[in-house]
Amino acid sequence: MKLFAKIFIVILIAGFIGIQFIKVDRKNPTVKADLRAPQEVKNILKESCYDCHSNETKWPWYSYIAPLSLLIEKDVVEGRRELNFSEWETYDSKKKAFLMKEIWEEVENDEMPKAVYTLTRPNVRLDSVKKNIIKKWTTGY
């Protein structure tokens, strides 16, 4: 192997090891005021949304390996900031109504759950039956 290629590989390996030391916060804050909703709605949200939109994130084994860990942490931090079902019952009615509208918009257009997430979990994509349950909950019909 050419010296250049060897140096390149050493740098890659060193870089991979180096990024493992970046701190990732996988702590789940306590659940303060979890969403109250019909059980069929909760089941869907728990299965397809709670990993990024609640304090009950299940961190998969690959969330311990950078750079994946960093990408997953970012999704969880941003996801919780936009919408956190573990704090839902602390939101006022205006915020709830706004988020319900947003939820249906995201679900109707297949924007959520995020595509990178369903790549490894095709079964948490929402089929038409599940979408209809979300539609009824968010829009009332």
Q: Tokens 């728990």 belong to which residue?
A: 46
Return the range that interacts with ligand HEC (CB under 6 A); candidates 28-36, 48-56, 63-71, 86-94.
Answer: 48-56
Tell me the three state secondary structure of residue 31: coil
Question: Using CB under 6 A, which of 73, 107, 133, 137 touches ligand HEC?
Answer: 107
User: In 54-91, which positions are buried (b, 16+ CB within 10 angstroms) versus exposed (e)?
Assistant: bbebebeeebeebeebeebbebbeebbeebbbbbbeeb
Sole binder of ligand HEC in the list 46, 114, 131, 135 (CB under 6 A): 114
Is 34 a binding residue for ligand HEC by CB under 6 A? The answer is no
Query: What is the three-class DSSP state of 36?
Result: coil
Nearer to ligand HEC by C-beta: 34 or 75?
75
CB of 77 to ligand HEC, least distance (A): 8
**53 lies in the site for ligand HEC, by CB under 6 A:** yes
Longest CA–CA separation in the chain, Å: 67
85 binds ligand HEC (CB under 6 A): no
